[in-house]
Amino acid sequence: MTDADGSTPRPRPETLFDALGADYEKAFAGAEAHHASLDWLLGRLAPGSKVLDVGSGTGRPTAEVLAAAGHDVLGLDVSPVMVELAARQVPGARFRLADVREAPLEEEAFDAVTVYFSLLQMTRDEQTALVARAARAARPGGAVVLATVPVDADDVPHVFMGHPVRVSSFAADGFTRLARQAGLTVLEERSVLFTPAHPAGEPEPHLYLHCVREA
């Protein structure tokens, strides 16, 4: 099926992640850099902090690690399968089915906001808008962690874990600039090469930005 202009329509993200389910967790949850990023965040949070996890997936590792440390975690995800898995696996956190491109995010409501690899199926405009909204959801001085695959790609067809998708992203400098334009101070950038634990997994660059919202 094609759109009126002859292009292949963009698959809906919930379709992909409903299909992947727990396989996504198996492929990515063991990433050392992701756990190191969570350690950085834990080192900045006061006891009982409110954390918003945008694109919470199966709840592992982000919500699980943060909830186990005693924080109040709300996860948002567009996939019903992922939300059900997360609620079962991480009963210490709350999860809500929501399309984060449209869901209202209360401003200055959270001590920290995390966005781990949940942008890639959005358009560049949608990514820019979401990062700005995620930044505003953090209180002034609150932590915001962003992670993506930093490639210069604009609505490019791709096969991810055996499933056809269309992806968009920014090169590393462009993504860092996007964060700063959203009102974030980037305290730390970490770039790593990661291979998902999946038969179709190939090495991919990962970029983690550890930020705080400017006062």
| pLDDT digit string, tens, across residues 138-182 | 999 999 999 999 999 999 887 666 667 788 999 999 999 999 999
The amino acid sitting at 35 is H
Q: Is 76 helix (H, G, I), strand (E, B) or coil?
A: strand
- Mean pLDDT, the chain, as a whole number? 89
- Find out whether 116 and 145 touch, Cβ atoms under 8 Å: yes
Cβ atoms within 10 Å, residue 209:
25
Mean pLDDT calculated for residue range 198-214: 88
Given pLDDT bands bounded at 50, 70 and 90, which one contains residue 195? confident
Angle at 5 between CA 12 and CA 118, to 5 degrees: 25
